[in-house]
Amino acid sequence: MVRSPCSRLGRAGEIAIGKGQARLVRFEDVAARYGQGPDVLTGLSFELAPGSFHFLTGPSGAGKSTLLRLLYLALKPVGGTIHLFDRDVATIARSELPAIRRRIGVVFQDFRLISHLSALDNVALPLRVAGAREAQVHDHVAELLSWVGLADHLEDLPPTLSGGQQQRIAIARAVIGRPSLLLADEPTGNVDDRIALRLMYLFEELNKVGTTVVIATHNDALVARFPHPQLHLEDGRLYRIPGRPLAKRVRAGE
């Protein structure tokens, strides 16, 4: 078993998930679209239990990124209700958004790193914003970056690094604050199989200490290798595919 730096962390759930909170995420009949365009998602109903681990799968254009945008409150649904951390997101004030977003780690497909900050400073940012003591920040960030294979690049600026290296910085930044919910959009899209596995172990370690994980991926080999259930989007519908050994498709909500 590969132990990542996350295995030394406390449980995310004890801090971030309120007592008795049965569902971290609940979608009821949710619809989403962009501007005046057609509905991209419609009639979406599902729940995510705290501490669960799901792959989000489906063909390109099925709406995986759109579903993640709804989850990190970057897109408002045009129908239905979304509950996140036991709150109806329609009732969340703009002023409350930063505090709620701090509980969500996001790995964006386009990384969104700050180009004039070093790899180390990019990853340290969420800890510094949260007021962590500087003495702890450096060692913790350096350890995590080493674990994802970037020990020799702590002081490098993102534009000088490869896509795969930038992706690993983005992942380290998303997990460093031990979020309640981790959302990752194709987090292994730019790395080789060995690094992809290492990143999956990192996500699993984070999950073991309480983080609920949703990973959107096209990588069928990776999905087949791990036992986690899938939320599968196809033809506008969401299917739940149970984790191994069952592999039967069950329409979500049925």
- Chain centroid to Cα 151, Å, comes to 23
Q: Which is nearer to ligand ADP, 75 or 119 (by Cβ)?
A: 75
- Per CB under 6 A, 62 contacts ligand ADP: yes
Q: How far is the CB of 147 from ligand ADP (least distance, A)?
A: 28
Q: How far is the CB of 162 from ligand ADP (least distance, A)?
A: 23
Q: How far is the CB of 215 from ligand ADP (least distance, A)?
A: 12
- Per CB under 6 A, 66 contacts ligand ADP: yes
In the chain the first and final C-alpha atoms are separated, in Å, by 37
Q: Which is nearer to ligand ADP, 38 or 159 (by Cβ)?
A: 38
Query: Are 212 and 182 in contact, with CB atoms under 8 Å apart?
Result: yes
- Per CB under 6 A, 37 contacts ligand ADP: yes
Query: Are 200 and 138 in contact, with CB atoms under 8 Å apart?
Result: no
Rounded Cα distance, 242 and 124, in Å: 36
Q: Which is nearer to ligand ADP, 171 or 216 (by Cβ)?
A: 216
Q: Which is nearer to ligand ADP, 37 or 98 (by Cβ)?
A: 37
- Per CB under 6 A, 61 contacts ligand ADP: yes
* Contacts with 246 (C-beta within 8 Å, 6 or more apart), sequence order: none
Helix axes 163-176, 193-208, angle to 10 degrees: 0
What is the bridge-based pairing of β-strands 39-48 and 250-251?
unpaired
Rounded Cα distance, 206 and 14, in Å: 13
- Per CB under 6 A, 70 contacts ligand ADP: no
Q: How far is the CB of 224 from ligand ADP (least distance, A)?
A: 19
* Binding test (CB under 6 A) with ligand ADP, winner from 60, 98, 139, 221: 60
Q: How far is the CB of 189 from ligand ADP (least distance, A)?
A: 11
What is the bridge-based pairing of β-strands 87-88 and 39-48?
unpaired
Binding site for ligand ADP (CB under 6 A): 34, 37, 40, 58, 60-66
